[in-house]
Amino acid sequence: MVGPVRHGAVTAMRKRALVVGLGIAGMSAAIGLRRAGWTPVIVERAPERRTGGYFVGLFPEGRRAAVDLGIAGDLHTRNPERKAGANTWSLDRRGRRRPALGFLDQPGEPAAVLRGDIETALWQSTTGVEVRFGTTPVAITEGPADVQVLLEHAGTGPQYRESFDLVVGADGMRSSVRRIVFGPHEDYLTTWNAMICAFQLKEQAPSYEAGDSIIIARAKRAVWVFGLADHAPTALLTYRTTDIQDQFSGSRVDRLRSVFSRMDHPVVRHVLDSLEEAPDHLFDSVHQVRMPRWSKGRVVLVGDAAWCMNLYSGMGATSSLRGGAALGVALREHPDDLTAALDAWEAGLRPFITRHQRTARLKQQMFVPSSRRAEALRSVLLGLARRIRGRRQATEAGGPQGRALSGTSR
Ligand SMILES: Cc1cc2nc3c(=O)[nH]c(=O)nc-3n(C[C@H](O)[C@H](O)[C@H](O)COP(=O)(O)OP(=O)(O)OC[C@H]3O[C@@H](n4cnc5c(N)ncnc54)[C@H](O)[C@@H]3O)c2cc1C
Protein backbone atom coordinates (compact mmCIF):
# COMPACT_ATOMS: atom_id res chain seq x y z
CA MET A 1 0.00 0.00 0.00
CA VAL A 2 1.36 3.40 -0.93
CA GLY A 3 -0.16 6.07 1.27
CA PRO A 4 -0.32 9.77 0.44
CA VAL A 5 1.68 11.96 2.84
CA ARG A 6 1.69 15.74 3.01
CA HIS A 7 5.05 17.40 2.30
CA GLY A 8 4.29 21.08 2.72
CA ALA A 9 1.88 22.04 0.00
CA VAL A 10 2.74 19.05 -2.22
CA THR A 11 1.14 15.65 -1.79
CA ALA A 12 3.84 13.02 -2.38
CA MET A 13 3.55 9.24 -2.50
CA ARG A 14 5.69 7.77 0.26
CA LYS A 15 6.76 4.19 -0.22
CA ARG A 16 6.30 1.79 2.69
CA ALA A 17 8.83 -0.86 3.65
CA LEU A 18 8.45 -3.70 6.12
CA VAL A 19 11.67 -4.22 8.07
CA VAL A 20 11.77 -7.58 9.85
CA GLY A 21 14.04 -7.54 12.92
CA LEU A 22 14.95 -4.84 15.45
CA GLY A 23 18.68 -5.60 15.56
CA ILE A 24 21.60 -3.54 14.24
CA ALA A 25 20.83 -4.34 10.59
CA GLY A 26 17.07 -3.70 10.90
CA MET A 27 17.38 -0.35 12.66
CA SER A 28 20.22 0.79 10.37
CA ALA A 29 18.10 -0.07 7.34
CA ALA A 30 15.06 1.68 8.81
CA ILE A 31 17.06 4.88 9.38
CA GLY A 32 18.56 4.64 5.89
CA LEU A 33 15.10 4.09 4.35
CA ARG A 34 13.60 7.02 6.19
CA ARG A 35 16.40 9.28 5.00
CA ALA A 36 15.63 8.13 1.45
CA GLY A 37 12.01 9.28 1.88
CA TRP A 38 10.48 5.89 2.66
CA THR A 39 8.19 4.96 5.54
CA PRO A 40 9.64 1.94 7.34
CA VAL A 41 7.57 -0.26 9.65
CA ILE A 42 9.60 -2.59 11.87
CA VAL A 43 8.28 -5.92 13.16
CA GLU A 44 10.17 -7.74 15.91
CA ARG A 45 9.44 -11.26 17.13
CA ALA A 46 10.50 -10.56 20.73
CA PRO A 47 7.98 -8.93 23.07
CA GLU A 48 10.33 -6.04 23.84
CA ARG A 49 13.63 -4.46 22.79
CA ARG A 50 16.65 -6.36 24.08
CA THR A 51 19.51 -4.57 25.84
CA GLY A 52 23.04 -5.47 26.98
CA GLY A 53 24.67 -8.18 24.96
CA TYR A 54 28.27 -9.17 24.46
CA PHE A 55 31.50 -7.33 23.61
CA VAL A 56 31.68 -6.07 20.03
CA GLY A 57 34.67 -4.41 18.37
CA LEU A 58 33.52 -1.72 15.95
CA PHE A 59 35.90 -1.16 13.03
CA PRO A 60 36.42 2.08 11.03
CA GLU A 61 33.85 1.11 8.35
CA GLY A 62 31.25 0.63 11.10
CA ARG A 63 32.17 3.89 12.78
CA ARG A 64 31.87 5.69 9.43
CA ALA A 65 28.44 4.13 8.88
CA ALA A 66 27.44 5.29 12.37
CA VAL A 67 28.37 8.84 11.32
CA ASP A 68 26.43 8.45 8.04
CA LEU A 69 23.37 7.25 9.97
CA GLY A 70 23.67 10.17 12.38
CA ILE A 71 24.08 7.98 15.48
CA ALA A 72 27.79 8.44 16.22
CA GLY A 73 27.13 11.08 18.89
CA ASP A 74 24.85 8.67 20.79
CA LEU A 75 27.20 5.71 20.59
CA HIS A 76 28.74 4.90 23.97
CA THR A 77 32.19 3.32 23.64
CA ARG A 78 34.05 1.48 26.40
CA ASN A 79 37.73 1.11 25.44
CA PRO A 80 39.76 0.55 28.59
CA GLU A 81 42.46 3.12 29.21
CA ARG A 82 45.76 2.04 27.65
CA LYS A 83 48.33 1.14 30.27
CA ALA A 84 52.08 1.26 29.88
CA GLY A 85 52.32 -2.39 31.01
CA ALA A 86 49.57 -4.46 29.50
CA ASN A 87 45.84 -4.54 29.07
CA THR A 88 45.72 -8.00 27.58
CA TRP A 89 47.15 -11.16 29.07
CA SER A 90 47.61 -14.54 27.51
CA LEU A 91 47.84 -17.61 29.76
CA ASP A 92 50.23 -20.31 28.66
CA ARG A 93 49.83 -24.04 29.26
CA ARG A 94 51.55 -23.75 32.64
CA GLY A 95 49.09 -21.06 33.67
CA ARG A 96 51.62 -18.20 33.53
CA ARG A 97 50.34 -14.85 32.30
CA ARG A 98 52.18 -13.00 29.55
CA PRO A 99 51.44 -9.58 27.98
CA ALA A 100 49.68 -10.21 24.68
CA LEU A 101 48.01 -8.56 21.72
CA GLY A 102 44.26 -8.46 22.19
CA PHE A 103 41.20 -7.94 20.01
CA LEU A 104 41.46 -4.16 20.36
CA ASP A 105 45.07 -4.17 19.11
CA GLN A 106 43.98 -5.13 15.58
CA PRO A 107 44.60 -2.68 12.73
CA GLY A 108 41.85 -0.10 12.60
CA GLU A 109 41.80 0.25 16.39
CA PRO A 110 38.27 -1.04 16.94
CA ALA A 111 36.00 0.75 19.37
CA ALA A 112 34.93 -1.47 22.28
CA VAL A 113 31.16 -1.51 22.75
CA LEU A 114 28.44 -3.89 23.84
CA ARG A 115 26.04 -4.97 21.09
CA GLY A 116 23.36 -3.18 23.12
CA ASP A 117 25.29 0.11 22.94
CA ILE A 118 24.96 0.14 19.16
CA GLU A 119 21.30 -0.88 19.33
CA THR A 120 20.54 1.84 21.90
CA ALA A 121 22.15 4.51 19.71
CA LEU A 122 20.16 3.28 16.69
CA TRP A 123 16.96 3.11 18.72
CA GLN A 124 17.30 6.78 19.65
CA SER A 125 17.32 7.66 15.95
CA THR A 126 14.27 5.57 15.08
CA THR A 127 11.88 7.83 17.00
CA GLY A 128 8.69 8.09 14.99
CA VAL A 129 9.22 4.77 13.21
CA GLU A 130 6.37 2.33 13.86
CA VAL A 131 7.62 -0.76 15.69
CA ARG A 132 5.39 -3.77 16.29
CA PHE A 133 6.72 -6.16 18.92
CA GLY A 134 5.71 -9.80 19.14
CA THR A 135 5.11 -9.85 15.40
CA THR A 136 6.55 -12.07 12.70
CA PRO A 137 5.92 -12.73 8.97
CA VAL A 138 4.49 -16.13 8.05
CA ALA A 139 3.97 -15.68 4.29
CA ILE A 140 5.36 -13.26 1.71
CA THR A 141 3.85 -13.06 -1.77
CA GLU A 142 5.01 -10.72 -4.46
CA GLY A 143 2.47 -9.18 -6.81
CA PRO A 144 3.01 -6.98 -9.87
CA ALA A 145 2.96 -3.71 -7.90
CA ASP A 146 3.57 -4.62 -4.26
CA VAL A 147 4.50 -7.37 -1.84
CA GLN A 148 1.83 -8.91 0.37
CA VAL A 149 2.92 -10.06 3.80
CA LEU A 150 0.90 -12.25 6.14
CA LEU A 151 1.88 -11.15 9.65
CA GLU A 152 1.22 -13.06 12.84
CA HIS A 153 1.12 -11.86 16.40
CA ALA A 154 3.57 -14.31 17.97
CA GLY A 155 2.06 -16.16 20.86
CA THR A 156 -1.58 -15.09 20.57
CA GLY A 157 -1.82 -16.13 16.93
CA PRO A 158 -4.07 -13.64 15.06
CA GLN A 159 -2.93 -13.11 11.47
CA TYR A 160 -3.46 -10.18 9.12
CA ARG A 161 -2.34 -9.31 5.61
CA GLU A 162 -0.63 -6.06 4.69
CA SER A 163 0.89 -4.66 1.51
CA PHE A 164 4.33 -3.02 1.20
CA ASP A 165 6.61 -1.72 -1.55
CA LEU A 166 9.64 -3.50 -0.12
CA VAL A 167 10.42 -6.12 2.53
CA VAL A 168 13.79 -5.93 4.30
CA GLY A 169 14.75 -9.18 6.05
CA ALA A 170 17.02 -8.20 8.93
CA ASP A 171 16.06 -11.12 11.14
CA GLY A 172 19.45 -12.64 11.80
CA MET A 173 21.36 -15.77 10.87
CA ARG A 174 18.29 -18.04 10.94
CA SER A 175 16.18 -15.56 9.01
CA SER A 176 12.51 -16.39 8.46
CA VAL A 177 12.33 -13.97 5.52
CA ARG A 178 15.20 -15.86 3.85
CA ARG A 179 13.52 -19.22 4.49
CA ILE A 180 10.14 -18.03 3.17
CA VAL A 181 11.43 -16.24 0.05
CA PHE A 182 14.81 -17.83 -0.83
CA GLY A 183 14.62 -21.38 0.54
CA PRO A 184 15.61 -23.59 3.50
CA HIS A 185 18.41 -22.71 5.91
CA GLU A 186 20.50 -25.68 4.75
CA ASP A 187 20.87 -24.04 1.32
CA TYR A 188 22.66 -21.02 2.80
CA LEU A 189 24.12 -21.82 6.23
CA THR A 190 27.65 -23.24 6.10
CA THR A 191 28.69 -25.17 9.19
CA TRP A 192 31.93 -24.26 10.95
CA ASN A 193 32.01 -27.14 13.44
CA ALA A 194 32.29 -24.76 16.35
CA MET A 195 30.21 -23.49 19.27
CA ILE A 196 30.14 -20.24 21.21
CA CYS A 197 28.80 -19.07 24.52
CA ALA A 198 28.87 -15.32 25.29
CA PHE A 199 27.76 -13.60 28.51
CA GLN A 200 28.62 -10.91 31.04
CA LEU A 201 30.84 -11.76 33.98
CA LYS A 202 29.54 -10.76 37.37
CA GLU A 203 32.98 -9.26 38.04
CA GLN A 204 36.55 -9.35 36.74
CA ALA A 205 38.59 -12.49 37.38
CA PRO A 206 40.48 -12.35 40.70
CA SER A 207 43.92 -10.67 40.56
CA TYR A 208 43.20 -8.88 37.25
CA GLU A 209 42.41 -5.21 36.83
CA ALA A 210 38.91 -4.18 35.79
CA GLY A 211 39.81 -3.28 32.19
CA ASP A 212 42.12 -6.27 31.58
CA SER A 213 41.44 -8.75 28.82
CA ILE A 214 42.49 -12.38 29.22
CA ILE A 215 43.03 -14.98 26.50
CA ILE A 216 43.42 -18.72 26.98
CA ALA A 217 43.59 -20.21 23.49
CA ARG A 218 44.25 -23.96 23.33
CA ALA A 219 43.78 -26.50 20.58
CA LYS A 220 40.01 -26.68 19.90
CA ARG A 221 38.94 -24.61 22.94
CA ALA A 222 39.40 -21.06 24.06
CA VAL A 223 38.29 -18.71 26.82
CA TRP A 224 38.32 -14.95 26.17
CA VAL A 225 37.58 -12.25 28.73
CA PHE A 226 37.03 -8.79 27.23
CA GLY A 227 37.79 -5.98 29.69
CA LEU A 228 35.73 -2.81 29.35
CA ALA A 229 36.15 0.71 30.73
CA ASP A 230 32.96 1.18 32.70
CA HIS A 231 31.27 -2.18 32.71
CA ALA A 232 31.94 -5.69 33.98
CA PRO A 233 33.89 -7.70 31.38
CA THR A 234 32.13 -10.06 29.01
CA ALA A 235 33.29 -13.62 28.36
CA LEU A 236 33.40 -15.77 25.28
CA LEU A 237 33.78 -19.54 25.46
CA THR A 238 34.35 -21.15 22.09
CA TYR A 239 35.20 -24.71 21.10
CA ARG A 240 35.42 -26.89 18.03
CA THR A 241 33.28 -29.99 17.61
CA THR A 242 31.92 -31.98 14.70
CA ASP A 243 28.83 -33.10 16.62
CA ILE A 244 26.83 -29.88 16.57
CA GLN A 245 23.39 -31.42 17.19
CA ASP A 246 24.54 -33.12 20.36
CA GLN A 247 25.72 -29.80 21.85
CA PHE A 248 22.13 -28.60 22.20
CA SER A 249 21.04 -31.52 24.38
CA GLY A 250 21.18 -31.52 28.19
CA SER A 251 22.36 -28.76 30.50
CA ARG A 252 24.52 -26.11 28.80
CA VAL A 253 26.45 -25.35 31.97
CA ASP A 254 27.27 -29.05 32.50
CA ARG A 255 28.34 -29.38 28.88
CA LEU A 256 30.62 -26.34 29.03
CA ARG A 257 32.10 -27.49 32.34
CA SER A 258 32.87 -30.83 30.73
CA VAL A 259 34.33 -29.29 27.52
CA PHE A 260 36.60 -26.93 29.49
CA SER A 261 37.43 -29.35 32.32
CA ARG A 262 40.98 -29.88 31.06
CA MET A 263 41.67 -26.13 31.31
CA ASP A 264 41.82 -26.20 35.08
CA HIS A 265 42.78 -22.61 35.90
CA PRO A 266 41.27 -20.06 38.34
CA VAL A 267 40.26 -17.77 35.43
CA VAL A 268 38.39 -20.60 33.68
CA ARG A 269 36.71 -21.59 36.95
CA HIS A 270 35.69 -17.95 37.53
CA VAL A 271 34.21 -17.69 34.03
CA LEU A 272 32.27 -20.95 34.35
CA ASP A 273 30.95 -19.99 37.80
CA SER A 274 29.85 -16.63 36.36
CA LEU A 275 27.93 -18.38 33.61
CA GLU A 276 25.73 -20.07 36.20
CA GLU A 277 24.85 -16.66 37.66
CA ALA A 278 24.60 -14.69 34.40
CA PRO A 279 21.11 -13.23 33.81
CA ASP A 280 21.31 -14.38 30.19
CA HIS A 281 23.77 -15.86 27.74
CA LEU A 282 24.06 -16.66 24.07
CA PHE A 283 24.83 -20.30 23.25
CA ASP A 284 24.90 -21.26 19.59
CA SER A 285 26.66 -23.04 16.77
CA VAL A 286 28.84 -21.03 14.39
CA HIS A 287 27.85 -20.64 10.73
CA GLN A 288 28.45 -18.37 7.82
CA VAL A 289 25.61 -17.39 5.47
CA ARG A 290 26.60 -17.60 1.80
CA MET A 291 24.12 -16.38 -0.80
CA PRO A 292 24.67 -15.76 -4.51
CA ARG A 293 22.28 -12.79 -4.35
CA TRP A 294 20.77 -10.84 -1.46
CA SER A 295 17.55 -9.69 -3.10
CA LYS A 296 14.70 -11.14 -5.08
CA GLY A 297 12.12 -8.75 -6.54
CA ARG A 298 10.85 -6.58 -3.70
CA VAL A 299 12.55 -8.54 -0.93
CA VAL A 300 16.08 -7.79 0.26
CA LEU A 301 18.14 -9.28 3.10
CA VAL A 302 20.67 -7.34 5.21
CA GLY A 303 23.06 -8.14 8.05
CA ASP A 304 23.39 -11.67 9.42
CA ALA A 305 20.29 -12.76 7.44
CA ALA A 306 22.18 -12.08 4.18
CA TRP A 307 25.88 -12.63 4.87
CA CYS A 308 26.46 -13.59 8.52
CA MET A 309 30.27 -13.60 8.63
CA ASN A 310 30.18 -14.96 12.21
CA LEU A 311 31.86 -13.71 15.36
CA TYR A 312 35.38 -14.78 14.34
CA SER A 313 35.38 -12.17 11.56
CA GLY A 314 34.63 -9.45 14.10
CA MET A 315 32.85 -7.56 11.31
CA GLY A 316 29.16 -8.50 11.74
CA ALA A 317 28.03 -5.36 13.54
CA THR A 318 30.23 -3.18 11.35
CA SER A 319 28.79 -4.70 8.16
CA SER A 320 25.20 -4.52 9.47
CA LEU A 321 25.57 -0.78 10.05
CA ARG A 322 27.25 -0.29 6.70
CA GLY A 323 24.70 -2.45 4.86
CA GLY A 324 21.72 -0.57 6.29
CA ALA A 325 23.24 2.85 5.64
CA ALA A 326 24.21 1.89 2.06
CA LEU A 327 20.71 0.57 1.34
CA GLY A 328 19.28 3.98 2.17
CA VAL A 329 21.83 5.71 -0.08
CA ALA A 330 21.06 3.36 -3.01
CA LEU A 331 17.30 3.94 -2.66
CA ARG A 332 17.86 7.68 -2.53
CA GLU A 333 20.01 7.61 -5.66
CA HIS A 334 17.50 5.45 -7.59
CA PRO A 335 14.15 6.77 -6.34
CA ASP A 336 12.09 5.37 -9.22
CA ASP A 337 13.86 2.10 -9.93
CA LEU A 338 13.96 -0.44 -7.11
CA THR A 339 15.84 -3.04 -9.16
CA ALA A 340 18.58 -0.54 -10.04
CA ALA A 341 18.81 0.52 -6.38
CA LEU A 342 19.19 -3.06 -5.12
CA ASP A 343 21.69 -3.91 -7.88
CA ALA A 344 23.81 -0.85 -7.06
CA TRP A 345 23.62 -1.57 -3.32
CA GLU A 346 24.78 -5.17 -3.73
CA ALA A 347 27.51 -4.31 -6.26
CA GLY A 348 28.93 -1.72 -3.85
CA LEU A 349 28.82 -3.95 -0.77
CA ARG A 350 29.66 -7.44 -2.11
CA PRO A 351 33.49 -7.06 -2.37
CA PHE A 352 33.73 -5.88 1.25
CA ILE A 353 31.58 -8.75 2.52
CA THR A 354 33.39 -11.40 0.46
CA ARG A 355 36.78 -10.21 1.70
CA HIS A 356 35.76 -10.46 5.33
CA GLN A 357 33.94 -13.77 4.91
CA ARG A 358 37.21 -15.20 3.56
CA THR A 359 39.49 -13.83 6.28
CA ALA A 360 37.15 -15.14 8.99
CA ARG A 361 38.71 -18.64 8.56
CA LEU A 362 42.14 -17.31 9.44
CA LYS A 363 40.77 -15.25 12.30
CA GLN A 364 39.07 -18.38 13.65
CA GLN A 365 42.57 -19.84 14.15
CA MET A 366 43.41 -16.78 16.22
CA PHE A 367 40.29 -17.21 18.35
CA VAL A 368 40.42 -20.98 18.72
CA PRO A 369 43.27 -22.93 17.10
CA SER A 370 42.32 -26.13 15.28
CA SER A 371 45.24 -28.24 16.64
CA ARG A 372 48.30 -28.19 18.92
CA ARG A 373 50.36 -27.19 15.89
CA ALA A 374 48.04 -24.30 15.07
CA GLU A 375 48.14 -23.29 18.74
CA ALA A 376 51.95 -23.16 18.67
CA LEU A 377 52.00 -21.27 15.37
CA ARG A 378 49.45 -18.78 16.67
CA SER A 379 51.57 -18.17 19.72
CA VAL A 380 54.74 -17.58 17.65
CA LEU A 381 52.99 -15.25 15.18
CA LEU A 382 51.31 -13.16 17.85
CA GLY A 383 54.54 -12.96 19.86
CA LEU A 384 56.34 -11.70 16.75
CA ALA A 385 53.57 -9.20 15.96
CA ARG A 386 53.72 -7.91 19.52
CA ARG A 387 57.48 -7.37 19.36
CA ILE A 388 57.23 -5.56 15.99
CA ARG A 389 54.45 -3.37 17.33
CA GLY A 390 56.41 -2.63 20.51
CA ARG A 391 59.47 -1.61 18.49
CA ARG A 392 57.38 0.59 16.19
CA GLN A 393 55.73 2.30 19.15
CA ALA A 394 59.10 2.89 20.81
CA THR A 395 60.45 4.42 17.61
CA GLU A 396 57.38 6.64 17.21
CA ALA A 397 57.54 7.74 20.84
CA GLY A 398 61.22 8.58 20.42
CA GLY A 399 60.52 10.85 17.41
CA PRO A 400 63.52 11.89 15.29
CA GLN A 401 65.88 11.20 18.18
CA GLY A 402 64.56 7.66 18.58
CA ARG A 403 64.99 7.06 14.87
CA ALA A 404 68.52 8.44 14.95
CA LEU A 405 69.42 6.19 17.86
CA SER A 406 68.05 3.10 16.19
CA GLY A 407 70.02 4.17 13.08
CA THR A 408 73.35 4.34 14.95
CA SER A 409 72.87 0.97 16.60
CA ARG A 410 72.82 -0.78 13.25
C1 LIG B 1 29.73 -13.59 20.62
C2 LIG B 1 29.67 -12.66 19.46
C3 LIG B 1 30.66 -11.70 19.29
C4 LIG B 1 30.62 -10.82 18.23
N5 LIG B 1 31.59 -9.90 18.10
C6 LIG B 1 31.54 -9.01 17.09
C7 LIG B 1 32.54 -8.01 16.95
O8 LIG B 1 33.49 -7.94 17.73
N9 LIG B 1 32.42 -7.11 15.93
C10 LIG B 1 31.36 -7.14 15.07
O11 LIG B 1 31.28 -6.28 14.17
N12 LIG B 1 30.40 -8.10 15.16
C13 LIG B 1 30.47 -9.03 16.15
N14 LIG B 1 29.51 -9.99 16.24
C15 LIG B 1 28.46 -10.08 15.21
C16 LIG B 1 27.34 -9.09 15.41
O17 LIG B 1 26.89 -9.07 16.75
C18 LIG B 1 26.19 -9.50 14.49
O19 LIG B 1 26.69 -9.70 13.18
C20 LIG B 1 25.12 -8.43 14.42
O21 LIG B 1 24.64 -8.12 15.72
C22 LIG B 1 23.99 -8.93 13.54
O23 LIG B 1 22.94 -8.03 13.56
P24 LIG B 1 21.58 -8.36 12.78
O25 LIG B 1 20.70 -7.21 13.06
O26 LIG B 1 21.89 -8.74 11.38
O27 LIG B 1 20.99 -9.70 13.44
P28 LIG B 1 20.52 -10.02 14.91
O29 LIG B 1 21.35 -9.34 15.92
O30 LIG B 1 20.43 -11.51 14.98
O31 LIG B 1 19.06 -9.39 15.01
C32 LIG B 1 17.95 -9.99 14.41
C33 LIG B 1 16.68 -9.46 15.05
O34 LIG B 1 15.58 -10.03 14.35
C35 LIG B 1 14.65 -10.59 15.28
N36 LIG B 1 13.98 -11.70 14.60
C37 LIG B 1 14.47 -12.93 14.34
N38 LIG B 1 13.56 -13.66 13.70
C39 LIG B 1 12.46 -12.87 13.54
C40 LIG B 1 11.20 -13.07 12.95
N41 LIG B 1 10.86 -14.23 12.38
N42 LIG B 1 10.32 -12.05 12.97
C43 LIG B 1 10.62 -10.85 13.56
N44 LIG B 1 11.82 -10.62 14.14
C45 LIG B 1 12.74 -11.62 14.12
C46 LIG B 1 15.52 -11.00 16.45
O47 LIG B 1 14.74 -11.13 17.63
C48 LIG B 1 16.52 -9.86 16.50
O49 LIG B 1 16.03 -8.77 17.25
C50 LIG B 1 29.57 -10.91 17.29
C51 LIG B 1 28.58 -11.89 17.44
C52 LIG B 1 28.63 -12.76 18.50
C53 LIG B 1 27.56 -13.79 18.64
List, for residues 117-168, the tens digit of each pLDDT value. Answer: 999 999 999 999 999 999 999 999 999 899 999 999 987 889 999 999 999 9
Distance (Å, whole) CA 330 – CA 333: 5
Distance (Å, whole) CA 223 – CA 100: 14
pLDDT at 273: 96
In short, whether 45's Cβ falls inside 6 Å of ligand 1 is yes
pLDDT-derived band at 3 (thresholds 50, 70, 90) equals very low
In short, whether 171's Cβ falls inside 6 Å of ligand 1 is yes
In short, whether 198's Cβ falls inside 6 Å of ligand 1 is yes
Index of the ligand 1 atom closest to the CA of residue 176:
41
Q: Report DSSP state, residue 183.
A: -
Classify the C-alpha dihedral 393-399-401-407 as positive or negative.
positive
φ, ψ of residue 310 in degrees (nearest 5): 80, 165
- The amino acid that residue 47 corresponds to is P
pLDDT-derived band at 335 (thresholds 50, 70, 90) equals very high
Query: Does residue 11 have a pLDDT over 90?
Result: no
By the 10 Å C-beta count (0-12 exposed, 13-18 middle, 19+ buried), 12 is classed as exposed
Half-sphere exposure of 214 (CA within 13 A, CB side): 26
pLDDT at 85: 67
Close Cβ partners of 74 (under 8 Å, ≥ 6 residues apart) = 120, 121, 124, 125
In short, whether 26's Cβ falls inside 6 Å of ligand 1 is yes
Distance (Å, whole) CA 45 – CA 257: 32
Protein residue whose Cα sits closest to atom 30 of ligand 1:
172
pLDDT at 7: 31
- Is residue 130 within 8 Å of 44, Cβ to Cβ? no
Query: Does residue 373 have a pLDDT over 60?
Result: yes
In short, whether 80's Cβ falls inside 6 Å of ligand 1 is no
Distance (Å, whole) CA 99 – CA 55: 21
144 Cα–ligand 1 center, Å: 32
pLDDT at 86: 65
Q: What value does the mean pLDDT take over residues 23-51?
A: 97
Give whole-number Cα distances, 220 to 96, 198, 305, 325, in Å.
20, 17, 27, 37
267-324 pLDDT, tens digit each: 999 999 999 999 999 999 999 999 999 999 999 999 999 999 999 999 999 999 999 9
310 Cα–ligand 1 center, Å: 10
Percentage of the chain modeled with pLDDT above 70: 93
- Please, which residues bridge with residue 85 across strands? none
In short, whether 324's Cβ falls inside 6 Å of ligand 1 is no
Distance (Å, whole) CA 92 – CA 90: 6
Q: What value does the mean pLDDT take over residues 378-403?
A: 79
Index of the ligand 1 atom closest to the CA of residue 27:
25
Q: Give the three-state DSSP class for 149.
A: strand
In short, whether 110's Cβ falls inside 6 Å of ligand 1 is no
In short, whether 289's Cβ falls inside 6 Å of ligand 1 is no
Pocket test for ligand 1, best of 78, 115, 192, 282 (most atoms within 8 A of CB): 115
Into which CATH architecture does domain 3-367 fall?
A: 3-Layer(bba) Sandwich (3.50)
Classify the C-alpha dihedral 26-32-38-39 as positive or negative.
positive
Q: Domain boundaries in the chain?
A: 3-367
The DSSP-derived string for 2-47 is: -EEEEETTEEEEE-EEEEE--SHHHHHHHHHHHHTT-EEEEEESSS
If you average pLDDT over every residue of the chain, what do you get? 92
pLDDT-derived band at 84 (thresholds 50, 70, 90) equals low
Q: What value does the mean pLDDT take over residues 255-270?
A: 95
- Please, which residues bridge with residue 66 across strands? none
195 Cα–ligand 1 center, Å: 16
Index of the ligand 1 atom closest to the CA of residue 171:
34
pTM over 0.85: yes
pLDDT at 157: 85
